[in-house]
Amino acid sequence: MGDSFIYLIVYSDSLEEGLRMSFQSILKMKNKWMLFFTIFYILVGAANLMIVGICDFGLFHIGLIAILSFVAAFGLYQQQSWVLWPIFALFFISTVYSVLMINAFLGNYQVNPHAGIILGVVAYSVYLVLTWIGTAYIGVKRNDFN
């Protein structure tokens, strides 16, 4: 078998033997970049839910980003044409949110410089760039959706 496939063994209660399926056939996604951005939006949604849970439940705008990220990930997974709306909404919301967070981190760095602030700036910068790239890529590939 080729190196490009990861095989999973799926066991059922009614079947004695396992069924071999490739990882991509389970996810039903032929495009690896679409799979990457689906996982990206799932991770962003999970991270934002953790921020809401750890910091403050009053941060409803971060909860909104989490919900939109999960909706976008589901739409990408299903390859539905309506996914463009949450993706474009997340583009604008995430851009403003990331720029404000980077600005807050950099303002805090002048008062109390430490490595955690630099890590926050790098993390939000990567989030911002991946959001832009993902929006552009999904906008270009919108004709491939149902």
Check residue 90 and give its pLDDT: 93
In a domain, 25, yes or no: no
Tracing tokens 């909404």 back to the chain, one arrives at 89
If residue 7 lies in a helix (H) or strand (E), which one and from where to where? strand 7-10
Question: What is the pTM for the complete model shown?
Answer: 0.74
If residue 62 lies in a helix (H) or strand (E), which one and from where to where? helix 60-78
In a domain, 21, yes or no: no
In a domain, 23, yes or no: no
Residues 6+ apart with CB under 8 A from 52: 59, 62, 63, 66
Check residue 4 and give its pLDDT: 45
In a domain, 13, yes or no: no
In a domain, 1, yes or no: no
In a domain, 6, yes or no: no
In a domain, 9, yes or no: no
In a domain, 132, yes or no: yes
Structure tokens at 68: 């939109």
Tracing tokens 């949110």 back to the chain, one arrives at 97
Check residue 68 and give its pLDDT: 93
Q: How many domains does the chain have?
A: 1
Write the DSSP symbol of residue 20.
Answer: E
What residue type is assigned to position 86 of the chain?
Answer: P
Check residue 29 and give its pLDDT: 61
Contact predicate 98/128, CB 8 Å: yes
> pLDDT of the chain along its 146 residues, tens only?
444 444 444 444 444 444 455 555 555 666 788 888 899 999 999 998 998 888 877 778 888 999 999 999 998 888 888 989 999 999 999 999 999 989 988 887 677 777 778 888 899 999 999 999 999 998 888 887 77
Q: How far apart are CA 80 and CA 6, in angstroms?
A: 26
Q: Could you list the residue range(s) of the whole structural domain that residue 40 is in?
A: 30-144
Check residue 85 and give its pLDDT: 92
Instruction: Report how far apart, in Å, the C-alpha atoms of 146 and of each of 26, 74, 105 are.
Output: 19, 13, 41
Check residue 32 and give its pLDDT: 81
Q: How far apart are CA 113 and CA 110, in angstroms?
A: 6
What residue type is assigned to position 16 of the chain?
Answer: E
SS3 17: coil
